[in-house]
Structure 1
């Protein structure tokens, strides 16, 4: 017997959407051969096996559950994804461009970024001699700057363990501009509604929002309130071949939630942002130096969340990578977080990568999180530990790019 209720209709609509999207994807792939590479299918498959001691099953535990062995789902060395990227020459130095990028969990095949089909990016744009313009869901200037200032990147053991917003710094309903003139760079994004995905949860917890950086319960555009769920990011800097320096401003606003009685929340932690006056602002200064086979990168990120009271954090990070041979890369990074309520911690990460080919690599990572008595940051981003834990993590992974 078939149910004719809302849930059934929702499932049918989802199936129709998936079928239509897959049909479009197949058509775009078939165009690759006809359009002389104007449409490119690309991706990363990256999965690892992670061991961590002093693991907890949920936040707030007072005693650890023991050690844990898990296959990675969010990220190992890099998040797994596939995408379609296109470019068409229009003449006069102008090009039409687009990108559709899907993030998925390699251990289950499930969708990431709030269960979205193209949750990593979905935009169309125009390249011009005066800069690049894009419209749609896209990464913002915080993410772009981070890629140039950390040697570890968005790995399981990384700055994501201290601030989960950083590897998820992207916005819905966004317009962007990025230009580089003789190595001087200027860019910005404006989102009229930073997140259009629902994070369902118990009404008694977080105003009905389940903690999920990929879906923060902040609706897209709110009628009558142009600043609700608005996000603005800006970047200015110098990207030279040997060294670079950059400054980033990132301001995201709260607003009414998508669920009855719910509100939006800060993607860096479950702090409610109940209206457009409540916000989180980040200031980042970071840079890099390239010395032959050695790369030095680092920076500082100050975050201030303004609600009924102010909550502030500071993250300091620095690292180096070295290639002793063309097929071997060694990297290490040290970071520290300090907060208003003294939840402070130090994190140490090392990674060794062996390139089996240009596209395939194997690697191992070692992470150590040193929490003080108030802090409970897990060495593995997205996992949990207990307050005061001195936690170790070991990761073995395999990566394939195409």
Structure 2
């Protein structure tokens, strides 16, 4: 009888250990996206010595979604509370190098607590609420068109190029379809609490097939290079800053209607940078590329995606962007540029993890007043040598 009791006790202990193990998990995840890209009128001088404006074919990583791998995990602490973490690296498939200025976990790096009843608090390098609540309603960013559908210079961060370091973030649980959140990113500079600090607010609401979202981001920084805080909320060393200069504000809202897996959406965003000195163009933010007292953008987007079959979809978006640049010095004259951009995509899924795509973008800009910073420019590809550019990508995505 004693031997039987021991067997039962041993079996119970094994079951309890298995249950405890099941309550904690660590997952390796990732996505690889690469393809062949054609672009015309690139701002390079051909080897023949003719004037800039060459066409090119190249292998490009991350045409739709940036290639990445990461680790995420959770530990059940009981009572609806769990510890969570997320570490995510971005890389270039074409040559194996890190993205985000070479940072190991340059896409995301955070740890926090999640409550089923109240929401989630996280600390680390994280996305703002425009990324969380507005970008999913757009074609760019986490939308189906991804990187190639970026609004010019990603001026509104819907393509999540910008991350906030040193940040504390709260995202509420869903209450009848309503969510809200707030975050603050510390400057980390002694004696200058606001030099390169940031905060963001956002809210979303889901009602049946309708989804709504809004977000706000404020970046506080000085336009004086000698006083710049490179390790603050917005790093100047990882190449992710959307602009350089003084304070920056971004806000916007969007709505989406879903029918089955298909959807239509509209998005509006506004951004302004005071005392601007540079913009994100051609894959980097170049200080001195655009010097003025301010640069404003308004983006108006309409998008739609239709599933012809469960494994085949067609999508498109049109974005009209207006700009207002107030020149200050160094020959940078004021201008009122405006951009028209059309994106079209066909996507075929072999499985839930693997698909192929054909995506094209046409962009035309007017009113740049001869400033080369306002030439046509699609994502991180070579900017155009003029006011028009066509980009066509054929590629493959695989998730793991």
TM-score (norm 2): 0.77
Q: Which moved more, 1:148-157 or 1:97-106?
A: 148-157
Partner of 1:91: 78
CA contact (8 A) 1:257 1:264 kept: no
Shift of 1:272: 2.1
User: 2:84, 2:376 → 1: CA distance?
Assistant: 40
CA contact (8 A) 1:125 1:135 kept: yes
Shift of 1:111: 0.6
Partner of 2:283: none
Q: Deviations over 1:19-47 (max 9, x none)?
A: xxxxxxxxxxxxxxx94461111000110
Aligned match for 1:67, one of 24, 34, 55: 55
CA contact (8 A) 1:280 1:306 kept: yes
Shift of 1:271: 3.7
User: 1:334, 1:63 → 2: CA distance?
Assistant: 31
**Is 1:257 paired with 2:228?**
yes
SS of alignment partner, residue 148 of structure 1: helix
**Is 1:234 paired with 2:228?**
no
Aligned match for 1:133, one of 114, 121, 125: 121
Partner of 1:23: none
**Is 1:282 paired with 2:237?**
no
Correspondence 1:156-235 to 2 at 5 A: 156-163=147-154, 165-166=157-158, 167-179=160-172, 180-193=174-187, 221-235=188-202
Aligned residues: 331
User: 2:198, 2:259 → 1: CA distance?
Assistant: 36
User: 2:170, 2:74 → 1: CA distance?
Assistant: 17
Shift of 1:133: 0.5
Partner of 1:247: 214
Partner of 2:358: 364
Structure having the higher Rg: 2
SS of alignment partner, residue 114 of structure 2: strand
Q: Deviations over 1:136-168 (max 9, x none)?
A: 111111111233211343634212544264321
Q: Cα 1:264–1:114, aligned 2, differ >3 Å: closer, same or farther?
A: closer
TM-score (norm 1): 0.77
Q: Cα 1:330–1:291, aligned 2, differ >3 Å: closer, same or farther?
A: same
CA contact (8 A) 1:148 1:297 kept: no
Q: Cα 1:140–1:240, aligned 2, differ >3 Å: closer, same or farther?
A: same
The Cα RMSD (Å) is 2.6
Shift of 1:55: 0.7
Shift of 1:226: 0.4
User: What are the ranges of 5 or more consecutive residues in structure 1 without an aligned counterpart?
Assistant: 1-33, 194-220, 274-278
SS of alignment partner, residue 168 of structure 1: coil
**Is 1:324 paired with 2:297?**
no
SS of alignment partner, residue 146 of structure 1: helix
Shift of 1:299: 0.8
**Is 1:377 paired with 2:364?**
no
CA contact (8 A) 1:143 1:170 kept: no
Shift of 1:372: 1.3
Partner of 2:269: 301
Partner of 1:30: none
CA contact (8 A) 2:245 2:274 kept: no
